[in-house]
Amino acid sequence: MQTSRMFEIIYLLLTHENMKARELAERFGVSTRTIYRDVDALSLAGIPVYMEKGRNGGIRLLPEFVLNKSILSEREQNEILTALQGHSFIGDGKAGQVLHRLSGIFNKAVVNWLEVDFSDWSFGDGDIFDNFKTAILERRIAEFDYYSTYGEKTHRRVEPIQLWFKSKAWYLKGFCLKKQDIRLFKLLRVNNLAVTNESFEKRDLLAAEPAPSSEAYNMPDITMRLRIAPAMAYRVYDEFAEDMVEKQPDGSYMVTVTWPEDNWVYGFLLSFGGHIEVLAPERMREIIKGKALEIAGQY
């Protein structure tokens, strides 16, 4: 407890020019005599902390003091703060707290160089990200119900490895004990998540695995040639990389793209309505035509 309290005292002194012994004693629920002993211990440990008597006196650190001089360069400090700032954008309140503390320890103001909004990221269970993070860091098996692309519900036990953000969605990369292979699980399809107390050892095969087999990406790839109307220009540049797009003299766009073929691709193409035509392959033309007729038949 004493070590934790003394670290907190250093942090407070780094963020406050001057603090009274009484203020510190009230904060930690100890006597002022204990605070004086802590200050003496810090001084003996080489921390340049000193006390001034009088009305404006108190406990202070030398102005030039920072904890980081012996172990981290200025660039390394900035990298740490930047990483924490980025992590805090995904809703991790703990990262924000650590960011605030380390910025004080490093004696640096946090530069708000990046703004990220995941307001459309809705899992139903607001703790799902933190729970998976805990399972990854503590190497604990996670259990959950999972819905496949076709709506099939299965119960999974997974050794979590990483959280991935890919193509507008979050995924869990993990070793599925049911499939005995690496899989990607789309977090929006995860339900009834529980982090167990069962631990697991890191598997050697993971380091050599170039890319996971995936519940979301195990469909065969298909290369499509698409013609998209000029009215959809904003979507063309939002949805496709520049090297996939050829602008035509009439203002339309010719797009060549290779994606895993699944229900998401069909829905994506249909979302353009009459502003898109699948030119190739012929099989995909027939699939989209059939689905469009099914929709028309409902009305």
Residue 276's domain is classified under what CATH number? 3.30.70.240
Q: What is the pLDDT of residue 70?
A: 45
- 201: domain CATH number is 2.30.30
Q: What is the pLDDT of residue 248?
A: 95
Whether 57 and 20 share a structural domain: yes
Q: What is the pLDDT of residue 163?
A: 85
Higher-confidence position of 91 and 30: 30
DSSP H stretches of helix in 215-281: 233-239, 263-270
Whether 198 and 134 share a structural domain: yes
User: Contact at 8 Å (CB) between 112 and 164?
Assistant: no
Asked, for residue 184, whether it belongs to a domain, the answer is yes
Q: 235, exposed or middle or buried, with CB in 10 Å at 0-12, 13-18, 19+? A: middle
Read off the pLDDT of each residue in 141-155 and give the average, rounded to a whole number.
86
Whether 265 and 230 share a structural domain: yes
Whether 204 and 139 share a structural domain: yes
pLDDT band at 85 (very low <50, low <70, confident <90, very high): low
Q: What is the DSSP letter of 119?
A: T
pLDDT band at 256 (very low <50, low <70, confident <90, very high): very high
pLDDT band at 156 (very low <50, low <70, confident <90, very high): very high
Give dist(CA 131, CA 237) in Å, integer.
36
Token duo for residue 144: 């959950």
Of 44, 61, 78, the residue that ends a domain is 61
- 42: domain CATH number is 1.10.10.10
Please provide the average confidence, as pLDDT, over all residues in the chain. Answer: 78
pLDDT band at 3 (very low <50, low <70, confident <90, very high): low
Asked, for residue 7, whether it belongs to a domain, the answer is yes
Token duo for residue 25: 């004693």
Whether 141 and 194 share a structural domain: yes
Whether 179 and 233 share a structural domain: no
Q: What is the pLDDT of residue 207?
A: 47
Whether 123 has a pLDDT exceeding 50, the answer reads no
Whether 119 has a pLDDT exceeding 70, the answer reads no
Give dist(CA 179, CA 170) in Å, integer.
21
User: Contact at 8 Å (CB) between 187 and 146?
Assistant: no
pLDDT band at 1 (very low <50, low <70, confident <90, very high): very low
Give dist(CA 166, CA 16) in Å, integer.
42
Q: What is the pLDDT of residue 286?
A: 95
Q: What is the pLDDT of residue 83?
A: 55
Whether 185 and 246 share a structural domain: no
pLDDT band at 226 (very low <50, low <70, confident <90, very high): very high
Q: What is the pLDDT of residue 171?
A: 87
Of 208, 232, 259, the residue that ends a domain is 208
In terms of Cα–Cα distance, which of 251, 229, 260, 256 is closest to 241? 256
Q: What is the DSSP letter of 201?
A: P
How many domains is the chain partitioned into structurally? 3
Q: Which domain holds residue 157?
A: 128-208
Q: What is the pLDDT of residue 170?
A: 82
pLDDT > 70 in the chain, percent = 70
Whole-number Cα distances in Å, 284 to 236, 259, 268, 269, 276: 19, 12, 13, 10, 13
Say whether pTM exceeds 0.75.
Answer: no
Asked, for residue 204, whether it belongs to a domain, the answer is yes
Give dist(CA 102, CA 109) in Å, integer.
10
For residue range 166-198, list pLDDT tens digits in order. Answer: 766 788 999 999 988 888 898 888 889 999 999
Q: What is the pLDDT of residue 206?
A: 47
Whether 244 has a pLDDT exceeding 80, the answer reads yes
Work out whether the CA dihedral 264, 265, 267, 272 comes out positive or negative.
positive
